[in-house]
Every structure is written in C-alpha cells, then in structure tokens.
Amino acid sequence: MLRSINSFTYSIAVALAIFTQAVAPLYAQKPAEEFANLTGDGAWCWFSNPRAVSRDGKTYTGWVTEDGSVQAAELNHATGRVTTVDLHKQYQRDDHDNPSFVFLPDGRLTAFYCKHSNGLINSRTTARPGDFTEWTPEVTPSLNDKGYIGMAYCNPYLLSEEKNTLYLFWRGKSFKPTMSKSTDGGKTWTPAQVVFSRAGLPRNNRPYAQYASNRKDRIHLLFTDGHPDSEPHNSVYYVCYRGGAFYKADGTRICGVDELPIRPEQADRIYDANKTGVRAWVFDMAFDKNDNPVIAYTRVPEATDHRYHYARWDGKQWLDTELCKGGKWFPQTPHGVRETQPYYSSGLSLDHSDPNVVYLSRPVNGVREIERWVTADAGKTWKSEAVTAHSKFDNVRPVVVRNHAPDGPTLLWMNLDGRYVGYKDYRTSIKMDRPGESWRE
C-alpha cells in the first residue's frame, strides 16, 4: 500500500513539474531597450511575408530604411554577426515595400519587393547557396500585370510536391489579390490571375490577404472584403489551394485555377461583419499539425478600440475567441491632425511552428509592450506573459521567425525609438529576442 501511495505521489510530482515547466516564464521581461537590435533604422508592413525565415543556423529578414532603401539582413546564430545588404538603395520611402523571402531548391535565397501602389515587382537572388554577400542583379518578373497603381505586397511560396513550383501572390494593378506561378525557379511566370474579387464594386476596392504554406502541397489564403477605411462591414474569408484547385476548410471544392476569381460567397466566411456591424482586418495565418488553418485578426468597434481575435478550424467548425483589447491605432498622430490610418493596430503574430502561441502588442501603463499568449485548448483559455516590460518606447508589429531555431531569435518587432508618424514618415528599430541576451537563462 505504501509503495502504491509513493508511486502515486511520484506521478503527481512529475506531472506538476512538467506543468510548471510548461507555464514557466520564457522571457526575462526586460525593457525593450535592453533587447538587441537587428538594425537601428528599419520598418515594415505586415502584408508581405515571409518577412523572417531561419535556416542552417542563420536568420534572414529585411526592412525599409528611413531613406527608402530596401535591405536584407542575415543573422549568424553562432557569432551574433548581422550582415546587411542593400537590395535597392533609395527605392521608395514607404514601409510597405519590405522584402519577403523564399529559398529555392538549390538553397539560394530569393527576395521579392514592390513599390507601394507605384511600381512593379522586383526580385534578387543570392548568387550562391550559403553566401549572403553577393546577389544577382535586380530583375522584374514578367507577370502580365504591369501598372503603376495598385501593386503591392509580395508573398512567395514553393511547393515541393508540385515539382518545386514557385507561387507568388501580390496585390495586383486591379487592387485585388493576384497570383502567378513559375516552374523554372522564377525565370518565367504564368500570366497573372486575380484570385479573389466581387463583381460590381469600385475598381479601387482592395481586399487584403494573408497566406501560409506547408511548403509541400498546399497554400492557405485569408481575405477581407476590402480596406476597413472603405468597408464598414469588412468580413474575413478563407480558402485553401491544393492540386490546381481551391477548397473550403471542410474540403468542399470551390473552383479550379482556370475558374478564378473566387467570389466572397464561395469562400468560408470566418467572421461576418454584417451581423455585428464591426469591421475587421487580418494580421496573420498559420496551420496546425493536421494542416487545419489558424488565423489572427482584429475587430475594430471604434478606431480607439482595437480587439485582437484568434480563430481556428477544429475539423468541423470555426472557433473564434477574443484575446484582449489592443488599444487604439499606434501611429503618432501630430497634435491637431486627423489620423489617416486609424485601423493600424499595434499588431499580432502567430508562431507558425506552434500556432497555439501568439505574440501581440498592446498598451501597458501607457506604452505598447510585447506579450506572449499560449493556449492549450484551441483558444478557449489563455496564459500570457510579458516579453517586454517598462519600456521607454512603443513596441509594435511583432513577427515570429518562420522555422525558428533554438539558438536563434523567435521574435522580431519594431521599436519606436525614433518616430512613426505614418508609413512614409518613420525612423524605427528592429528588435529581436536573441537567446542569451534577452531570454531567461
């Protein structure tokens, strides 16, 4: 009997130890100023992804500087050395132009970037695998979508089970989510196709999109009706691409690629703003171990009241939870001036390696701090911890590094140690939670 009790007591102790370890704080909760900089001059938007990727002991990311130069950076995990290259000097002073990245089958890294509503898509590729210092000359992919209005937001994804077909999604000259594919590593591309659109709307109607891919056989897509400035009932929709066609979350076929564009009523409507009268905007999309989609988005009852939401498909239905209030817009509106971007939330990002984890920015004691939120029950309940605390300057637009490694950073974010008046008027730093410097040891 005593042995049985001791065995039971031991089991409880082990379980308690595991639980305690699981919920123990990961971060030392330091002011943002004590975290390492990747750069003291960089900013980004949240609609061009992947913004940060990890591979072979290094993390790659990029941003737009105050003078409008598009830069890419490589962080060596072992040495801590950051190598920065100019992809295009003085490209355009606009944080929407940040590069997105994809690795080609031969190990070379390609960056895509585009001037905000004022140009064409450009790309550059490292000259050799593993060598970040030398890049091929800038090229303009022939996408049959050339125009100087509407273009923005590059999102590249490679599908290994489609013979390494490279897909590129962007906002086309029609202002609509648009796609093309390349079967030769980006040398040639199929004509651009609008992916998502509703007939009868003004030409400048702008659905916003987020994407995620398992890099094998599918790409998840998330859309809105348009920009929350223009759409008081801005809803959120989902579809999945695989094998030449698009599907709902439950597997219902919507249409083939040759039948595009998808209409909103054909897609999964995750959130219906017509029922609530509260407009939404999308921030991130990932998927769980069963390839079920997980999304992070905002609802905005008022411009001064942004709400963070987490939704996921459980195999049968969409489950949607409000995480917390995110405060009002974050741009630093000059006194007496009407804010032109009142729907710019501080931001939230999913951990694509474990979408039970969300990083978000919200006001704490008057300063926007970064927090890590974790759920063990598909979003019903949450535990949270501070990443930054008692910071001097606001911390916004967190992004989790794709395929992040234990010896490298998990999280990057913008720190407003200079200013952020608007997407053309900024001077901000990019911070990182690099192990050994900012994590609890």
With 70 as the cut, is the pLDDT of residue 369 above it?
Answer: yes
Closest residue by Cα to residue 288 from 268, 318, 267, 314 = 314
**Residue for token digits 């990890």?**
54
pLDDT in tens, 171-218: 998 899 999 999 999 999 999 999 999 877 766 789 999 999 999 999
CA pair distance 394, 366, nearest whole angstrom: 9
- Partners of 54 in the β-ladder: 59
pLDDT in tens, 276-289: 999 999 999 999 99
Q: In which band, very low, low, confident or very high, does the pLDDT at 267 lie, cut at 50, 70 and 90?
A: very high
With 70 as the cut, is the pLDDT of residue 23 above it?
Answer: no
pLDDT of residue 10: 38
The more confident residue out of 281 and 118 is 281
With 70 as the cut, is the pLDDT of residue 107 above it?
Answer: yes
Please, is 163 exposed, middle or buried when counting C-beta atoms within 10 Å of its C-beta (0-12, 13-18, 19+)? exposed
**β-sheet with 383-386: strand ranges across:** 348-350, 357-364, 367-374, 383-386
Cβ(160)–Cβ(150) below 8 Å: no
The more confident residue out of 358 and 205 is 358
Cβ(54)–Cβ(60) below 8 Å: yes
pLDDT of residue 440: 46
Is the pTM for the entire model greater than 0.85? yes
- In whole numbers, what is the pLDDT of the chain averaged over residues? 92
The more confident residue out of 29 and 39 is 39
Architecture in CATH of 28-432: 7 Propeller (2.130)
pLDDT in tens, 426-438: 999 999 998 756 5
pLDDT of residue 436: 58
pLDDT of residue 149: 74
pLDDT in tens, 301-316: 999 999 999 999 999 9
Q: Per-residue pLDDT averaged across 232-258, rounded? A: 97
pLDDT over 90 percentage in the chain: 86
pLDDT of residue 137: 98
> Domain coordinates of the chain in residue numbers?
28-432
With 80 as the cut, is the pLDDT of residue 9 above it?
Answer: no
CA pair distance 398, 348, nearest whole angstrom: 6
